[in-house]
Structure 1
Amino acid sequence: MQALPLATIAFVLYVAAAIWQGMTLFRRVPPRQGMVRLLGALALLLQIPVIVGLLYQSPSLLPGFTTSVTLLMAVAVNVLLISSLFKPVLHASIVLFPLAGISLIVATGLPAQAGPDGLTPGILVHAITSALAFAVVAIAAVQAVLVGLQNQALKHHHIRGIVQSLPPLTTMERVLFELVWAGLALLTVSIASGLIFLDNFFAQHLAHKTILSLAAWAIFTTLLVGRYRFGWRGMRAVRWTLGGCFLLVLAYFGSKFVLEIVLHR
């Protein structure tokens, strides 16, 4: 079976799961977490062979922009599905599932771009921890948005709709900070492995990624220090989380997008 039909079926499954979970959030349908996980898992299983094919077609050992995006989204979906078995984070599928489906469709429709060569075990550790850090931070970003919506609803005494569908605000905030902790730990390993195993972590083609990753690391660290020293919570926690996530997205995809999609290099 060709890549595009598989990608299309995966896209439909992702969107169907996200729509059901979204309707659950707005109390239009009863919760069906098992069904949402099943649809997401089936979509992920279809996504994997497509990604393998894209990696096989890549002119170099490391993937280009579109393949990198769909690969990272697959990792994020996998982390979300596993985490949702233990933590109330499945609502993040409303955003992550459609993004995973869209990235897969786009990746199958664009030619593979060459990434840098030289994949070694050390660089592989850096790549894996970077992917996991992105996955956890992406889930934390969606969690932060939900916490923000919940805060605003409670502030204006709107206790119906989304607020009734979500766990208590204290639980949502606790999970948010647990995600930030996990993301920071993985980002720390990613940065450390880059410093150790990459020849020049501050070379011209890596400088922006290094600087932005360090800035994101500083934001998440400041947020956690503020949380446990000064009791930061609520919208302040939401803003800092989203700010760190934004910098990390720029670090991972900024130059790849400009070079490969805009400048076609």
Structure 2
Amino acid sequence: MSIAFIAVIAALLYLAAAGLQLASALQHRGSLSRSLVVIGVFALCCHAYLTWHNIYDHSGMNFGFFRIFSLIFLGINSICMLALIKRPLQNLLVILFPLSAVAILIATLGPDTGSRDHAFPLGVAAHIGSSVVAYSLLTLAAIQAALLAAQDAQLKRRQMGGLLGILPPLQLMESMLFELIWVGFIGLTLSIGTGVIFMEDIFAQNLVHKTVLSIAAWVLFAVLLCGRHWLGWRSQTAVRLTVTGSTILMLAFLGSKLVLELVLERG
């Protein structure tokens, strides 16, 4: 079975699962569909296989822009699916799964923009792993924040349909947002910590922008969590700081790779 065929199958599975959840949401069914879970798990398995195939081979590891983009979506989807055990995050899949389908197809069938590196030491691998987890969680938090903002605006306009009928209550949405931020903040702390310990020079010329932006995002999320605990900051402030922090974090890694690989064409 060719790798391109598996990519198409994974994309179709993601789209089918997103369609099921969209239909369920429009019919205001709050329960999680078993069919959605089964199709989503199969799509994740295909995605994981494709990601491993695209990033690793005998000549080394390839963390090109499109491949790392697909890896981050794999992390986001995996975390979201696991969170469904405890939290009603299934409506996020309507956004995540179609984007993941596109990411898989581009990573597998698109141009190879990266260069290959030899196997990384364990400490560096831990830094990369914690970075992907942190990016995934805080991107998920940004999407949750955007939905919370739309829900809050609709509630203030006293529009009782639309998102208010699809999403969980506002208080639960806000609670889930801060849970994602807390876990993502811990992951980001581990990412920066392992970078300091295991990277030779995190302020080297090719890393300084990533380091500065990652620390800036860490400070922003730390301020948000402290404000939540001590000052009782609520949805509007949380939404603004979460989206800003997540955008800075994405620029720290994906922004630099975008410029280097696609604009300057350096692997």
Q: Do the structures match in fold with TM over 0.5?
A: yes
Q: 1:255 to 1:42 in 2, by over 3 A?
A: same
Q: Unpaired runs of 5+ in structure 2?
A: none
Secondary structure of 1:175's aligned partner: helix
Give 1:156's aligned residue: 157
- Post-superposition offset of 1:201: 0.4
Q: 1:58 to 1:89 in 2, by over 3 A?
A: farther
Give 2:215's aligned residue: 214
* Structure-2 separation of matches of 1:19 and 1:28: 14
* Structure-2 separation of matches of 1:217 and 1:204: 21
Give 1:196's aligned residue: 197
- Post-superposition offset of 1:59: 5.3
| Contact kept? 1:60, 1:117, Cα under 8 Å | yes
- Post-superposition offset of 1:20: 2.5
Residue by residue, what CA displacement relative to the aligned partner does 1:6-38 show, whole Å, maximum 9, x if unpaired? Answer: 111111111121223233333377754322222
Residue by residue, what CA displacement relative to the aligned partner does 1:175-209 show, whole Å, maximum 9, x if unpaired? Answer: 10011000000000000000110000011111111
Q: 1:258 to 1:183 in 2, by over 3 A?
A: same
Secondary structure of 1:61's aligned partner: strand
| Number of aligned residue pairs | 265
| Contact kept? 2:72, 2:135, Cα under 8 Å | yes
* Structure-1 separation of matches of 2:131 and 2:81: 19
- Post-superposition offset of 1:223: 0.9
Give 1:246's aligned residue: 247
TM-score by length of 2: 0.93
* Structure-1 separation of matches of 2:123 and 2:43: 31
| Contact kept? 1:7, 1:105, Cα under 8 Å | yes
Give 2:183's aligned residue: 182
Q: 1:29 to 1:170 in 2, by over 3 A?
A: closer
Q: Unpaired runs of 5+ in structure 1?
A: none
* Structure-1 separation of matches of 2:11 and 2:108: 12
| Contact kept? 2:75, 2:136, Cα under 8 Å | yes
- Post-superposition offset of 1:58: 8.2
* Structure-2 separation of matches of 1:53 and 1:15: 22
* Structure-1 separation of matches of 2:18 and 2:42: 13
| Contact kept? 1:62, 1:117, Cα under 8 Å | no
* Structure-2 separation of matches of 1:56 and 1:68: 12
Q: 1:164 to 1:223 in 2, by over 3 A?
A: same
Greater mean alpha carbon deviation, residues 241-250 or residues 62-71? 62-71
Cα root mean square deviation, aligned: 1.8
Give 2:36's aligned residue: 36
Tell me, yes or no, if structure 1 residue 105 matches structure 2 residue 105.
yes
TM-score by length of 1: 0.94
- Post-superposition offset of 1:116: 4.6
Tell me, yes or no, if structure 1 residue 90 matches structure 2 residue 90.
yes
Give 1:143's aligned residue: 144
- Post-superposition offset of 1:109: 1.6
Which letter does structure 2 place at the counterpart of 1:244?
Answer: G
Give 2:122's aligned residue: 121
* Structure-2 separation of matches of 1:66 and 1:102: 10
| Contact kept? 2:59, 2:118, Cα under 8 Å | no
* Structure-1 separation of matches of 2:116 and 2:258: 12
Secondary structure of 2:201's aligned partner: coil
